[in-house]
Structure 1
Amino acid sequence: MATHENLWLRSERQGTRGPKPSFSREALTEAAIRIADAEGIEAISMRRLALELGAGTMSLYRYVSGKDDVIELMIDTAVDGYIPEGTVMSGDWVTDMRDLAQRSRQTMLRHPWLAPLAANRQQTGPNRFRLMEETLAIFDGLGLSPDRMLTVVGSVIAYVNGFVQSELAYAEAMRRTGLDMRQWMALHTPFIESMLATGRFPRFARMTAEAGRELVGSDARFLYGLDRLLDGLKSDMPPRPPA
């Protein structure tokens, strides 16, 4: 039977024999993030990391038990960008959650591997622990129960994750085709026009004719949806208790 041990409860370097270590978990994590940002998460392997660090593959196992540990370290390091240490909150929960959502999106776009991994891996490391504590602190004094706080936070996180993964999927689809936007439109426009000419798709026709006039670009669409979500959550907040 396989045994499981929490990464964060293990000593950073396993074993005391052998030469003095030439790197650390931090260096290993930074190398993994560099590789994943440039080449995708599929490029991460213990052999590839060893090459990046100029170390023997087996020496890496003094710091981590395998690739899963490396990924947990990568996630915990990257999410520090959601609320960097030293961030000063405004004291208004809507403003602070809006800022958190925007920083989270930008962090995920810088690290395209982060959004799907963070959504599927729930191991809590030091940065994720701090992130949750500081996020919950945004709601101090509002009279929310823990369940309602978690639901509000979870709703915003789910919106950000969903929006970003849609953005990344679109970018990946374009990358796979090897086409730029103009070439992609030249390829698909004749078919779209032939379908619209049937008259069976009036709503789609209106969308293609009018979309992009009011909300131009991903940033505008992201903020529009985020603000509508926050407006809805705000309407269900309990009255502020008297000072």
Structure 2
Amino acid sequence: MGDGRRGSIWSIPEGQGRGSRPAYSRAQITGAAIRIADADGLDAASMRRIAADLGTGAMSLYRYVPSRDDLIELMIDHVLLEADVPERPTGDWRADLTLIAENTRRMWLRHPWLAGLQRPRATFGPNRMRLLEFAFGALDVGFPIDEIFILLDMLNGYVERVVRGEIEWAREMRQSGMTPQRWMTESAPYVRELLGTGRYPMFERIVMDARLPHMSAEEQFRYGLDRVLDCIAAARP
């Protein structure tokens, strides 16, 4: 349900409309939605459920948040505050991008409903804009603007791919008890069969020599992140 408006929720001043002084704020509604989504998933954060959490009727909330899309936009921007970046880049682009990547990973793990979105949509809320300015500013060290765009997309793609995998593993463990360690143990007999054929030399190197599968999730993330940052360093003019 909504008022037929297209565009961004950020273009509508909060508290707009007729009637008495607003009883709620977008921040209250957004906070309730995030609490519900964190506990029970994004689909559970309906206007009816949010209204019950706040002790009001669902219809009254549309005065503050006209549509479901607006609600999700507010939720995404609110959790982006957890990226926790300084007001401006430090001058050390690698440290700045590491901060963004590590804080973004932690944000996704705290709010796994983000992985339920096909891809978190580009929004223009205040926290998104602050993060954008910081990230692009960190790479404003001689790169053309289009190059910065591609390099940050590469970084964000790495973070998103890894954290989606972590969230999926966590879901699998909750539902079936299958941990990475248990999976490796149960797969071991067939892996030995494959190695015994001598037909898969690269797979043998993975099994015998690779350190990555034995690292913690955080160590794996940081190892891959360092490789991505190395690529960015190599692309510098």
TM-score range, shorter chain: 0.7 to 0.9
Task: Tell whether the 8 Å contact from 2:151 to 2:232 is kept in structure 1 after alignment.
Answer: yes
Question: Amino acid of the residue matched to residue 181 of structure 1?
Answer: T
Aligned length: 231
| Residue segments in structure 2 that go unaligned for 5+ positions in a row | none
- 1:112 Cα deviation (Å)? 0.9
Question: Helix, strand or coil: the match of 1:227?
Answer: helix
Q: Deviations over 1:81-111 (max 9, x none)?
A: 2234x46743111121112111111111111
RMSD: 2.7
Alignment of 1:145-224 (within 5 A): 145-177=144-176, 179=177, 181=179, 184-185=182-183, 189=186, 192-194=188-190, 196-197=192-193, 199-200=196-197, 204=203, 207=206, 216-224=215-223
Q: Distance in 2 between matches of 1:169 and 1:117?
A: 13
Q: TM-score, normalised by structure 2?
A: 0.85
Task: Give the secondary-structure state (helix, strand or coil) at the position aligned to 1:113.
Answer: helix
Unpaired segments ≥5 residues, structure 1: 239-243
Q: Matched residues in 1 for 2:126 and 2:25: separation?
A: 17
| Superposed displacement of residue 69, structure 1 | 1.1
CA contact under 8 A between 2:115 and 2:167: conserved in structure 1?
no
Q: Structure 1: how far apart are the matches of 2:17 and 2:203?
A: 63
Alignment of 1:1-243 (within 5 A): 3-17=5-19, 19-84=20-85, 86=86, 89-115=89-115, 117=117, 119-140=119-140, 142-177=141-176, 179=177, 181=179, 184-185=182-183, 189=186, 192-194=188-190, 196-197=192-193, 199-200=196-197, 204=203, 207=206, 216-238=215-237
Tell whether the 8 Å contact from 1:112 to 1:168 is kept in structure 2 after alignment.
yes
SS in structure 2 opposite 1:23? coil
Give the CA deviation at 1:181. 3.2
Task: Work out the percentage of aligned pairs sharing the same amino acid.
Answer: 38
Aligned partners of 2:160, 2:51: CA distance in 1, in Å?
A: 31
Residues 94/169 of structure 1: CA separation in 2 closer, same or farther (3 Å cut): same
2:117 aligned counterpart, secondary structure: helix
> Judging changes above 3 Å, is the alpha-carbon distance between structure 1 residues 14 and 57 closer, same or farther for their aligned structure 2 residues?
farther
SS, match of residue 119 in structure 1 = coil
Shift of 1:74: 0.4
